């Protein structure tokens, strides 16, 4: 008998909790509808912020893409003397591969070099005539792709060892003016990469502040409501709940809205600016990136909207919820 009553009580408690949760959600949705103008204002603000942030993310991705395009072309060519044996060459390749910063080593034979030269200058008869198969002046070469173009020195040090220079017909491609140019490009790309990350971080912080402030204003507008509920004996959780649900809804709607805006803009941009690019920003890549990551972006936007909305409203409401 007692056992049964206990069971009934715990069932009732659970029931009570369920009713409370249900009412919190129901009131949140109702409030959203009844404060529609406040909602529209807040959603517009959040939507604009999320749109700018989304643009910043896509721009940053495009930028990184451009940067890696540039850096992927940075490599070091080593020109080998004609008398280097196959064994010496393989030993050199093996040693190069052991260096930490080496991504890959490619070999181009004299014959291959000639073929490449011919296909590159197929329209220029004079240049083609200057080089014949019997007297091939082009050296065989190794092409070293680095992992990090900022640390080419580690490769250079090895190549400059006397026993290694002895095998080389010419200085490596990474020397003199070319070295200076490559170093500058590597430095610049590194700088832009870091600037991009910092820029995104700053954008995220500013967006959160703007959204937080917007929500704080909507709650400030309704602080009397909170006070009344408090005086009637509503628990802080029960008062805050519907506000949190309401602002989570703002977040979802704002996220969808900003995604729709971006979708349309990218669709328009890629059709009108087809295959063109604006300096470092490759629009085609941007819109491809956007389309490929649509689901990821959608989920992130909605989650961000919900989380920022919920966090802001519960922080903002807390001020008016303090019990005296």
Partner 1 sequence: MILLDRVTKTYNQKEQALERVSLHVEPKEFVIIVGQSGAGKSTLFKLLTREEKPTSGKIIVGGMDYDKLRDKDIPLLRRKIGVVFQDFKLLPAKTAYENVAFALEIAGLPTVEIKHTVPKVLEVVGLRDKADNYPRELSGGEKQRVAIARAIVRQPKILIADEPTGNLDIKHAWDVIKVLEKVNKFGTTVLLTTHNQEIVNYLKRRVITIKDGKIISDKAVGQYKL
Cβ pair 293, 83 in contact under 8 A: no
Q: 94: which residues sit within 8 A by CB, 6+ positions away?
A: none
**Site mask for partner 1 (CB under 8 A), range 144-163, x = bound:** --------------------
Dig out the tokens for 313 from the structure. Answer: 């409203």
CB of 37 to partner 1, least distance (A): 12
- Binder to partner 1 among 83, 233, 272, 295 (CB under 8 A)? 233
Distance CA 282, CA 275 (A): 8
225 in contact with partner 1 (CB under 8 A): yes
**Site mask for partner 1 (CB under 8 A), range 294-323, x = bound:** -----------------------------x
Hey, is 109 helix, strand or coil? coil
**Site mask for partner 1 (CB under 8 A), range 31-50, x = bound:** x--xx---------------
Which helix or strand (DSSP H or E) is residue 20 part of? helix 2-34
Measured from the CB atom, the residue of 275 and 323 that comes closer to partner 1 is 323
Sheet containing 140-146: give its strands across. 76-80, 140-146, 102-108
**Residue 322 CB neighbour total at 10 angstroms:** 8
DSSP string, 234-264: --HHHHHHHHHHHHHHHHHHHHHHHHHHHHH
183 in contact with partner 1 (CB under 8 A): no
Cβ pair 270, 278 in contact under 8 A: no
Measured from the CB atom, the residue of 37 and 295 that comes closer to partner 1 is 37
228 in contact with partner 1 (CB under 8 A): yes
Distance CA 77, CA 99 (A): 16
- Binder to partner 1 among 231, 271, 275, 295 (CB under 8 A)? 231
2 in contact with partner 1 (CB under 8 A): no
Q: Which listed range, 170-178, 226-234, 296-304, 308-316, lies at the site for partner 1 (CB under 8 A)?
A: 226-234
190 in contact with partner 1 (CB under 8 A): no
23 in contact with partner 1 (CB under 8 A): yes
217 in contact with partner 1 (CB under 8 A): no
Distance CA 62, CA 293 (A): 13
- Binder to partner 1 among 107, 117, 212, 238 (CB under 8 A)? 238
Distance CA 203, CA 240 (A): 28
Cα-based distances in Å from 1 to 13, 15, 81: 19, 21, 99
CB of 237 to partner 1, least distance (A): 10
Measured from the CB atom, the residue of 22 and 69 that comes closer to partner 1 is 22
Measured from the CB atom, the residue of 125 and 324 that comes closer to partner 1 is 324
CB of 223 to partner 1, least distance (A): 12
Binding site for partner 1 (CB under 8 A): 16, 19-20, 23, 31, 34-35, 224-225, 227-235, 238, 323-324
């Amino acid at each position: 008998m007692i056992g049964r009553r206990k069971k009934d009580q715990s069932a009732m408690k659970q029931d009570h909790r369920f009713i409370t949760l249900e009412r919190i959600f129901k009131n949140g949705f109702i409030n959203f509808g009844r404060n529609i103008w406040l909602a529209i204002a807040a959603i517009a603000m959040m939507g604009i912020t999320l749109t700018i942030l989304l643009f910043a993310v896509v721009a940053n991705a495009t930028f990184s893409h451009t940067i890696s395009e540039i850096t992927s072309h940075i490599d070091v060519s080593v020109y080998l003397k004609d008398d280097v044996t196959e064994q010496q060459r393989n030993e050199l390749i093996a040693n190069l591969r052991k260096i930490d910063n080496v991504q890959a080593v490619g070999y181009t034979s004299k014959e291959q070099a000639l073929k490449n030269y011919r296909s590159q200058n197929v329209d220029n008869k004079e240049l083609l005539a200057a080089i014949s198969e019997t007297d091939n002046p082009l050296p065989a070469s190794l092409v070293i792709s680095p992992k990090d173009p900022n640390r080419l020195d580690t490769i250079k040090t090895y190549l400059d060892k006397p026993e290694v220079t002895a095998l080389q017909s010419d200085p490596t491609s990474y020397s003199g003016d070319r070295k200076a140019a490559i170093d500058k490009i590597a430095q610049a790309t590194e700088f832009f990469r870091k600037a991009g990350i910092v820029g995104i971080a700053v954008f995220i912080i500013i967006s959160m502040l703007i959204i937080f402030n917007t929500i704080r204003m909507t709650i400030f507008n309704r602080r009397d409501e909170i006070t009344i509920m408090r005086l009637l004996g509503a628990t802080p959780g029960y008062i805050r709940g519907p506000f949190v649900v309401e602002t989570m809804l703002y977040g979802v709607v704002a996220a969808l809205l900003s995604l729709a805006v971006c979708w349309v803009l990218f669709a328009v941009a890629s059709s009108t600016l087809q295959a063109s690019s604006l300096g470092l920003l490759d629009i085609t890549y941007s819109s491809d990136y956007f389309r490929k990551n649509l689901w990821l972006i959608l989920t992130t936007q909605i989650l961000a909207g919900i989380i920022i909305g919920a966090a802001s409203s519960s922080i903002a409401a807390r001020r008016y919820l303090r019990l005296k």
